[in-house]
């Protein structure tokens, strides 16, 4: 690499070193946060790689004691117990006919009867503009088929939305890919991975819209169906 900086104060090589060093230090300081972000990625090779890398960074950060400045800062901000440090109630969004809330009802085939009905009832109040989106056979175990996280990233960026009603799960009682390999439905590994994906989806949605409703599965009459 050429060191061509006739009027600059650092060579290209030095700038590269400074950037790598600063980013590495930043990663070590924020290791836990990076690990959380990695776990929120859509399942797939990129997530597996990101989680493996951030696991290593977390270990190194702990060993070097570089996780302590952040812990100290968060303690000073009063975030230790999950509070936001503000101590004030978050304002509740109150839509009105002049300022209608935008609601998205999304999910798998079970949204088919539920979504349009909810949209009709909600819209009748005159303060909501509802739309629905159904992706048949979708869920959280097979993002290769339909990646809800990626879809929401684009959809919510393009169309400002206040409320998301999300309902998936009917198609999810099948093996799931974990960083350690495939796990059968219902096993502890499956539960851990699936819980992580639900949490990641909630984190994503809550960071994009004011209110998220996660609708659970209806209780099936058949015991076998109910257990999935």
Supply the DSSP string of 18-41, one letter for each residue.
HHHHHHHHHHHHTHHHHHHHHHTS
Contact residues for 26 (Cβ-Cβ < 8 A; gap 6+): none
CA distance 210 to 55: 31
**Is residue 154 involved in binding other proteins (CB under 8 A)?**
yes
Helix (H) or strand (E) holding 107: strand 101-107
When computed from its CA atoms, the radius of gyration of the chain, rounded to whole angstroms, is 22
Residue span 187-206 as binding mask against other proteins, x where in contact by CB under 8 A, dash where not: ----------------xx--
- Does position 82 bind other proteins by CB under 8 A? no
Give the Cα separation of 53 and 109 in Å (integer): 36
Q: Is 116 in the site for other proteins (CB under 8 A)?
A: no
**Would you count residue 83 as binding other proteins (CB under 8 A)?**
no
| Binding residue (CB under 8 A) for other proteins from 81, 98, 180, 222 | 98
Of 89-97, 110-118, 141-149, 183-191, the window that binds other proteins (rule: CB under 8 A) is 89-97
Tokens encoding 9: 């104060």
Query: Which of the stretches 84-92, 107-115, 137-145, 184-192 binds other proteins when contact is defined by CB under 8 A?
Result: 84-92
Instruction: Point out which residues pair with 106 in neighbouring strands.
Output: 133, 166
- 26, 83, 186, 218: residue in contact with other proteins (rule CB under 8 A): 26
Which two tokens mark 146? 């339909």
> What are the residues binding other proteins (CB under 8 A)?
1-2, 4-10, 12, 14-30, 33-34, 36-37, 69-70, 73-74, 77, 86, 88-94, 96, 98-99, 154, 157-159, 162, 203-204, 207-208, 210
């Amino acid at each position: 690499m050429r060191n061509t900086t006739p009027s600059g104060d650092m060579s290209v090589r030095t700038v590269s070193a400074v950037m790598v060093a600063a980013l590495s230090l930043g990663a070590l300081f924020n290791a836990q946060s990076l690990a959380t972000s990695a776990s929120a990625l859509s399942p797939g090779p990129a997530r597996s790689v990101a989680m493996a890398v951030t696991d290593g960074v977390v270990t190194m950060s702990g060993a070097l004691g570089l996780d302590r400045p952040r812990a100290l800062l968060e303690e000073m901000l009063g975030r230790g117990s999950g509070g936001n440090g503000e101590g004030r109630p978050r304002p509740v969004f109150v839509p009105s006919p002049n300022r209608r809330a935008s609601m998205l009802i999304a999910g798998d085939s079970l949204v088919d009867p539920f979504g349009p009905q909810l949209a009709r009832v909600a819209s009748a109040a005159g303060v909501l503009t509802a739309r629905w989106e159904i992706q048949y056979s979708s869920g959280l175990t097979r993002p290769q088929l339909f990646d809800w996280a990626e879809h929401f990233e684009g959809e919510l960026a393009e169309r400002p939305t206040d409320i998301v009603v999300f309902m998936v799960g009917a198609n999810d009682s099948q093996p799931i890919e974990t960083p350690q390999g495939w796990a059968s439905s219902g096993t502890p590994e499956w539960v851990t991975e699936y819980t992580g994906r639900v949490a990641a989806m909630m984190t994503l949605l809550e960071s994009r819209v004011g209110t998220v409703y996660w609708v659970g599965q209806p209780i099936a009459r058949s015991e076998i169906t109910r257990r999935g």
